[in-house]
Amino acid sequence: YTHPDAIVLDPFVVDDIPIREAVAAGRRLVATNSNPLVVLSLRERLSPPEPDELKAAVTRLGDSLKRGVPLREHLNQLYRTHCPTCNQQAVADYFIWSREPADPRQKWVDCTACGQAGLAAVDKNDMAVLDEVETRGLQYWYLLDRVAPPRQAPEGDKARAHAETLLELYTPRALYAIADLLMKIEATFDEEVQGHLKAVLLTCLDVASNLYQPDTRPGDASSRPAADKLHPPRRFIERNVWQLFETSVENMAASAALREPLPLQPDLHWVTRVPSSTPGLVWVHNLGVGAVGRGLTPESVSLVLSTPPRPDPVFWSLAYLW
């Protein structure tokens, strides 16, 4: 449908495969999505950081001090427990909660002291550790004010109430860890590194929610509730946020090693008006369809290739929070 060096437009981009195919064919690709989180994730897949640089940034993040101890140690202490086999202190990988009453019932411990791993019942010491985290502590209000700042207008009250409902989709412990990670990332790194680490944190925001049932693969969206039921399942899993963050980094680095990075153009001008380019040019940005259309000259696009978004209230609500 197009000639070499033609402009192809994807106005609702969600996947990097059409982009890579267009570039491989020598076409120019203009891709946009009004959801900034989709664009952030997509840009990370297309032009990921060097794996060693990403791991070094996570090491620096984990080494940064929080209350006099490294952040990784501070966050892992939120999930401290005892091995049910040898009774040595350990760190839980995850807890399994019941929705009603809202309490953890089981824990998965992979003990470094005795080498045993498996599920065990939660005990009173685990509940005492959980009680150390305030349900409405400083981190909770920090996140709430960030998502929906207090306003005088009724619309502001409505947005704040909605944000409060969405924050209920996380345990207080998960919100505490997420807030600490976010504050440390923004206080420690420049804008470019922040972008990479926030893409990792985006995975944590998804998988650390209360929407995943036990025995499901992390990030498997098919295990979420139906689109009209934005509340936890009867039993859900609470993952260790710091361990989840490190695992997400490893997965991102492994994925980056398997894909050829694509240089992304800084603005629309470089895609639409520069002289012919054999390898193809790509521009990916967070804009609505109308704004992109106004930035293109008449009849400049040879092909519109896309799948219009399907209604998904769960994802839209979560994306608003994230």
- Tens digit of each residue's pLDDT (9 = 90 or more) over 126-183: 999 999 999 999 999 999 999 998 876 676 688 899 999 999 999 999 999 999 999 9
CA distances from 21 to 29, 263, 269, 282, 285 (A): 10, 14, 21, 11, 18
pLDDT classification of 231: cutoffs 50, 70, 90: confident
* Mean pLDDT along residues 53-59: 94
For the stretch 278-312, pLDDT in tens is 667 889 999 888 888 888 888 889 999 988 888 88
pLDDT of residue 223: 56
Question: Taking all residues of the chain, what is their mean pLDDT, rounded to a whole number?
Answer: 89
pLDDT interval class at 275 (50, 70, 90): low
Cβ contacts of residue 28 below 8 Å, gap of 6+? 5, 6, 7, 8, 22, 271, 272, 277, 280, 281, 282
The residues near 104 (Cβ < 8 Å, ≥ 6 apart) are 95, 96, 97, 122, 126, 127, 130, 238
Query: Which one, of 206, 185, 155, lies nearest residue 62 by Cα?
Result: 185
- Give the tens place of pLDDT for each residue, 185-201: 999 999 999 999 999 99
Residue 82's CB is within 10 A of a number of other CB atoms, namely: 18
- Residue 68 confidence (pLDDT): 94
pLDDT for 227:
46
